[in-house]
Amino acid sequence: MSNLSLNCENLNSFLTEQEVNSLQGQVGLCHDQLEEGSGEGSDYLGWLHLPSRFSDSLAAEIESTASSIRDCCEAFIVVGIGGSYL
């Protein structure tokens, strides 16, 4: 992942340009806290640099485990807390 772009074309129907500009400092601080892992909830930032830190060896391990499960199971049930907590 190299760049992220944001299309704000329809933003002005919700916020004025002045309101958007007034948030720039806060957005910058939030970004820095995410990158530094220094903000509240920083223990839960494992997702932040995926997929760029997803190694080939981890992918191979997941594929191998999935293959083993398919060989011995008819169904596989995942019970979790949901994506909002990730």
- Average pLDDT, whole number, for the chain? 87
CA 53/CA 68 separation, integer angstroms: 25
Report DSSP letters for 56-70, one per residue.
Answer: HHHHHHHHHHHHHHH
Report residue 71's pLDDT band, with 50, 70 and 90 as the boundaries. Answer: very high
Whether 22 shows a pLDDT value over 90: the answer reads: yes
pLDDT at 31: 93
Helix (H) or strand (E) holding 19: helix 17-22
Please tell me the pTM assigned to this model.
0.54
- The pLDDT assigned to 83 comes to 66
- Closest to 34 in 3D by CA, of 21, 24, 47, 25: 47
pLDDT above 90 for 84: no
Q: Are 52 and 4 in contact (CB under 8 A)?
A: no
Of 51, 52, 74, 55, which is closest to residue 63 (Cα–Cα)? 55
